[in-house]
Amino acid sequence: MTPGRRLLFGLAAAAAFLLLGRILAVIYADYSWYSALDASALWSERSRDVATIHTVSAALAGVFALINLFAIRRSIVSLAFPRRLGNVEFGEAVPARYLDRGVVILSAAVAFLAALVVPRWEHLALIKTGILFGERDPFFRMDLSFYVAWLPLELSAYTWTLTVLVSVAAVVIGLYALTPSLRWERGAFRVSVHVRRHLAVLGALFLLITAWNYRLAGYRLLIDGTGVNGMFSYIDHQWLIPAYLSLSVVTVAAAALVLVSGWTGQLRTIFFTISAVLVFSIALDLVLPSVARRFAASNIDTRQQQPYAATRAAFTRRAYGEGPKSPAAPSEIARFSSFGDSARSAALVEGEKERMLVYPGAHTAAIVRPAAAIPAPALGGGLSRLAHAWAEQRLDLIWGAFPPTARVVRIRDVRDRVRSLAPVFAQGSRVSPAFLGDTVMWVLELYSASATYPLSAHFTVAGEERSYFRHAGTALVNSRTGRTVIVSAPTPDPVAVAWRARFPATFRAGRPDILDALTADPVSAADGRPGQRSSRTDSVFRREVSRLYARMRQALASGNLTAFAAAYDSLGALIGRD
C-alpha cells in the first residue's frame, strides 16, 4: 500500500472513530438525562421507535435501490472510457468489480438519504400507546383513534414511499440514458427488451402507489370535505368516496395490465392504460369537486346537507370538549394568562437569571455544583465524564475542576424541556411565570391536538390549524431545579389517558390542587402574604417542613390519599427550592 493510501485510510479511520464516539456519547448523555428525570421508559420507547423507523426505511430503500441498480448492471456488459496515449486514442474498460462496488455504494447512499426523510417517531409511539376512543365514524366505521394515531403515520409512509420510488426511477432512467439500451433515434425512443421490462415494473409500482393514494383520499374527505368550510357533504358521501374507492381498484388492475403488457412488448396497451388512469385522475381531482361545489349551492342539496351538518356539529363538540356548541372558535386555557405576558417573563429572567437554571430561551448546558434536588445526571469520572464532555463538545469538562458529583443540566429551555417529556402533546402559545412560595414556576399548558380528526370543523389554535384540540394537562417547571411535572386535566381525552397510562412517571398523581397554590407574586414564607422575598432562615424552613409533615400524618390517619399526595408534592417543591 502506498503512503498516500495509508494516509487516506488513516484519516478515514480517525473520522469514523470520532463520528462513532460522538454518537455513543450523545446516546449515553441522552439516556442519563432521561434516567435522572425518571423518564427512562420514555427514552427506551423513543430509542426503539427511532431505530425501528430508520432501520426499516434504510433497509427497504437500500434493497429496492440495489435490485434496480443491479438490473441496470446486468444490461452493461462492459463500460469503456476513452484514453489517449501520445497520438493514439483507445478505450479502457472499467473492471467489473468496480461497477459492482459502484452499485453497492450508490444503493447505500440511497438508503442513507431515505433514512433521513422518515416519519416522525411520535406517530409510531402514539399507535403503540393503544389509544381507543370507543367511537366510530358513521361512514367507514373506523374507530376515531385510526384518524388521530394511525392515519398520520400512513400518510407519512405514503409520502416516503413515493419519494423513494420517484428518486430511484429517476436514477434508473438517467443511467439507462447513458447506455445504448435507451436512446432517441429517428424521432422516437428506442428501448431494449431489458429496459422495457424494467420500466414496466417501475410503472406498475407507481400505479400501485397511486391506488394507495386514492384509498387515503377517501379518508381525507372526512377530514377536509368539499362542502362549505371543508364540511363533509352529501356529494363526498354519495359521489366522491365511491369514485375514489372504484378508482383505487381500477388502478390496481391497471398496474397488473401495465406489468403484463410491458413484459410482452405491448407498448400501445401501456400507453392507453396509463393515459386512461391519468384522465380519470384529473377528472376526479379537478372537475368533479368543482361540479360538487356548484351542486352544493342548490336548494335541493341544502336539504340533503342537513344530516351532514348535524354530524359535523356533533363531531366538532367532541373534538373541542365542552365547546364550541356554536361556530365560535375554541381557545386555549386562560387560567394563568393574568399572571403575566412575555414582557414580565423577560423581566423576571433578566432580574433573576443568576438564580434560575431553566427559563424560556435558555441554551447550552449548565454545570451545577452538587445539588441533590436538581434532576440531572452527575458528571462522574472516567468514561462518564468523557462521554458528557464529548456530547457537549466541551473539553474543559475533562480536565476542569469539576467534582464528580456536579450535575450536567442539558436541556434548559422551558419548551424544549417539556417537549422532551411530553412529545405527543401540542404546547400552548404562552409560557406564564407563576410563584410557588418564592420560587418561580414556569407554567405551560399542554393539549392533545390533531389535524386529521374526522368530520369536525377546523380552527387555528395555538398557531396551527387543527380539527381536534383538547386540554391534556399543565406542565410546571421549577426555574431553580428544572424539575418538571405534568398535572393532568380534570377530564383528559383518550390520547392523554393512554399516554399517561404508558408513561406515568412524568405525571402528578392525584388532583390538580397544586395549581391552586400558584400565585402571580412571590409569597413570604414567614407570613404567607404576597410581597418581597423573605430571607429563608433555618427556623422558617423547619416550620414549613413541620407543617407539611403534620398535614401528611393527618391525611394518612384519615385515609385521604389525595390530601397526602398534595402535601407530599408541596414538600418536594419546598425542598427543591432550597
SS3 category, 279: helix
Give the contacts of 287 (CB within 8 A, at least 6 positions apart): none
HSE, side-chain direction, 13 A CA sphere, residue 81: 3
Confidence tier at 534 by pLDDT (50, 70, 90): very low
Number of other CB atoms surrounding residue 379 within 10 Å: 22
pLDDT, tens digit, 9 for 90 and up, residues 140-167: 999 999 999 999 999 999 999 999 999 8
- For residue 529, pLDDT over 50 is answered with no
> How would you class 335 by CB atoms within 10 Å of its CB: exposed for 0-12, middle for 13-18, buried for 19 or more?
middle
pTM (predicted TM-score): 0.81
517 and 436 Cβ atoms separated by less than 8 Å: yes
Please check whether residues 386 and 421 belong to one and the same domain.
no
Residue where the block lists cell 413515493:
162
Please check whether residues 417 and 482 belong to one and the same domain.
yes
How many residues are there in the chain?
578
Highest mean pLDDT among 233-242, 378-387, 446-455: 446-455
Q: Fill in the DSSP letter of residue 252.
A: H
Confidence tier at 530 by pLDDT (50, 70, 90): very low
Of 514, 540, 555, which closes a domain?
514
Please check whether residues 468 and 338 belong to one and the same domain.
yes
The average pLDDT across 299-316 equals 80
Please check whether residues 442 and 348 belong to one and the same domain.
yes
Whether 372 maps to a domain, the answer reads: yes
- Dihedral, CA atoms, 274, 278, 280, 282, nearest 10 degrees? 180
- Mean pLDDT of all residues belonging to the chain: 81
- The whole-angstrom separation of Cα 502 and Cα 130 is 9
pLDDT, tens digit, 9 for 90 and up, residues 452-462: 999 999 999 88
The average pLDDT across 270-287 equals 74
- Of 130-144, 198-212, 387-401, 524-538, minimum mean pLDDT range: 524-538
Please check whether residues 438 and 495 belong to one and the same domain.
yes
Please check whether residues 441 and 504 belong to one and the same domain.
yes
**Backbone φ, ψ for residue 54 (5° rounding):** -70, -40
Whether 201 maps to a domain, the answer reads: no
Whether 24 maps to a domain, the answer reads: no
259 and 252 Cβ atoms separated by less than 8 Å: no
Whether 202 maps to a domain, the answer reads: no
- Dihedral, CA atoms, 553, 557, 558, 564, nearest 10 degrees? 30
Whether 131 maps to a domain, the answer reads: no
- Dihedral, CA atoms, 197, 199, 205, 208, nearest 10 degrees? -90
pLDDT, tens digit, 9 for 90 and up, residues 470-490: 999 999 999 888 889 999 988
Of 499, 514, 529, which closes a domain?
514
Q: Give the strands of the sheet with 439-450, arranged side by side.
A: 426-436, 439-450, 468-478, 484-488
- The whole-angstrom separation of Cα 241 and Cα 223 is 13
The better pLDDT of the pair 502, 192 is held by 502
Domain of 478 in residue numbering reads as 333-353+412-514
The total domain count for the chain is: 2
Of residues 95, 255, 212, 114, the one with CA closest to residue 171:
114
- For residue 574, pLDDT over 80 is answered with no
Please check whether residues 432 and 506 belong to one and the same domain.
yes
- The whole-angstrom separation of Cα 488 and Cα 513 is 11
- The whole-angstrom separation of Cα 224 and Cα 204 is 29
Please check whether residues 489 and 459 belong to one and the same domain.
yes
Kindly state the cell numbers that stand for 417. Answer: 424541556
SS3 category, 235: helix
SS3 category, 82: strand
- For residue 177, pLDDT over 60 is answered with yes
- The whole-angstrom separation of Cα 241 and Cα 142 is 15
Amino acid 289: pLDDT: 63
Please check whether residues 416 and 487 belong to one and the same domain.
yes
Q: ∠294-300-305 over CA atoms, to 5°?
A: 80
Of 457, 481, 514, which closes a domain?
514
- The whole-angstrom separation of Cα 422 and Cα 486 is 9
Whether 390 maps to a domain, the answer reads: yes
Please check whether residues 394 and 434 belong to one and the same domain.
no
Tell me the residue type at 196.
Answer: R
The better pLDDT of the pair 348, 211 is held by 211
E strand residue ranges, 334-417 = 366-368, 407-409
The average pLDDT across 188-215 equals 86
Please check whether residues 451 and 381 belong to one and the same domain.
no
Please check whether residues 393 and 503 belong to one and the same domain.
no
Confidence tier at 418 by pLDDT (50, 70, 90): very high
- The whole-angstrom separation of Cα 182 and Cα 471 is 59
Whether 225 maps to a domain, the answer reads: no
The average pLDDT across 279-290 equals 70
**Which residues pair with residue 80 across a beta bridge?**
93
Beta-sheet pairing, 88-93 with 182-185: unpaired
Whether omega for the bond prior to residue 324 falls within 30 degrees of 0, making it cis, is: yes
Of residues 441, 502, 383, the one with CA closest to residue 125:
502
- The whole-angstrom separation of Cα 413 and Cα 417 is 6
Whether 427 maps to a domain, the answer reads: yes
Amino acid 536: pLDDT: 43
